[in-house]
């Protein structure tokens, strides 16, 4: 498989354990998004913002925009070297409204090669036009993940995402809403496929057979596979279970089906 860097396998507390990063931290440099596809129907950002009567469709720059380059009184970076940065998880890094702020974000990312920035998007069609001039085939300290929650979005997004000049790419099928056939497009370009069910009220079903089918495709393509969580409504062997939020990750761990190395 391309590259020597082992990819992330999130721990139950949300950290990146397999990469041996010093710690992990959220960097939500802008907030707000527009629902893009079927997986967005029960978006946790919209759900949480609604509790405070906040409009999640308004994209705004946040107070922690410059977090990676903040320094303490000693002149040291407040974010320590070796930190895994979960980047823009209350928006989409490539959303149109952030075009004016993104160049500064790339500058900060470039200034901190000692951090790793993990970006998830549902907008692969916007990636190429939003990359910095010195991007080349990607920054070593950036992983870009594309979500594909059903067959329609896999067919739409994977061929484009696969073709983009990104050094570290991964695929996320969460919330997994149906069986997905990647149609032989998985390969060494993809450093991991993450699968998970939907959480929260009104969560749609995640079927274990769909999870296993994606795993088999990962085995065939020698791509690492990570079963992140069952989701709140989980079907196995024809029976549907309501899984409490606190158990969704641990139940996925008990399945013991992750593939952390080439199969």
Q: For residue 107, is pLDDT > 70?
A: yes
Q: Where are the beta strands (DSSP E) in the chain?
A: 23-27, 30-31, 60-61, 83-87, 116-121, 142-147, 168-173, 190-196, 206-207, 225-229, 233-236, 239-242
Is residue 36 assigned to a domain? yes
Query: What local confidence, expressed as pLDDT, does residue 16 receive?
Result: 36
- Residues 122-144 pLDDT 10s: 999 999 999 999 999 999 999 99
Residue 261 pLDDT grade (very low, low, confident, very high; cuts 50, 70, 90): low
Domain that holds residue 145: 23-198
Is residue 248 assigned to a domain? no
Is residue 253 assigned to a domain? no
Residue 13 pLDDT grade (very low, low, confident, very high; cuts 50, 70, 90): very low
How does DSSP classify residue 74?
A: T
Is residue 155 assigned to a domain? yes
Is residue 108 assigned to a domain? yes
Is residue 252 assigned to a domain? no
Average pLDDT of 188-203? 97
Instruction: Report the number of distinct structural domains present in the chain.
Output: 1
Residue 222 pLDDT grade (very low, low, confident, very high; cuts 50, 70, 90): very high
Is residue 210 assigned to a domain? no
Is residue 251 assigned to a domain? no
CB-CB neighbours of 120 under 10 Å: 19
Nearest 10 degrees: Cα torsion 186, 187, 192, 197: 10
More confident residue, 22 or 250: 250
């Amino acid at each position: 498989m391309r590259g020597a860097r082992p990819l992330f396998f999130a721990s139950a507390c949300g950290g990146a354990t397999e990469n041996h990063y010093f710690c992990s931290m959220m960097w939500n440099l802008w907030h707000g998004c527009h629902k893009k596809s079927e997986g967005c129907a029960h978006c946790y950002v919209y759900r949480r913002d609604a509790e405070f009567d906040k409009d999640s469709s308004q994209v705004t720059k946040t107070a922690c925009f410059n977090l990676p380059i903040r320094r303490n009184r000693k002149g040291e970076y407040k974010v320590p070297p070796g930190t895994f940065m979960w980047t823009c998880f209350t928006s989409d890094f490539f959303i149109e409204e952030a075009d004016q702020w993104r160049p500064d974000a790339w500058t900060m990312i470039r200034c901190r090669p000692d951090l790793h920035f993990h970006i998830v998007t549902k907008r692969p069609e916007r990636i190429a036009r939003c990359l910095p001039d010195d991007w080349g085939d990607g920054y070593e300290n950036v992983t870009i993940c594309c979500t594909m929650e059903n067959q329609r979005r896999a067919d739409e997004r994977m061929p484009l995402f696969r073709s983009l000049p990104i050094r570290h790419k991964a695929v996320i099928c969460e919330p997994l809403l149906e069986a997905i056939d990647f149609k032989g497009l998985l390969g060494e370009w993809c450093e991991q496929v993450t699968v998970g069910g939907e959480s929260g009220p009104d969560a749609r079903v995640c079927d274990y057979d769909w999870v296993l089918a994606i795993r088999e495709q990962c085995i065939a393509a020698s791509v690492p596979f990570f079963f992140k969580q069952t989701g709140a409504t989980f079907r196995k062997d024809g029976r549907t279970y309501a899984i409490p939020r606190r158990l969704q990750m641990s139940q996925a761990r008990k399945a013991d089906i992750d593939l952390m190395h080439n199969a």
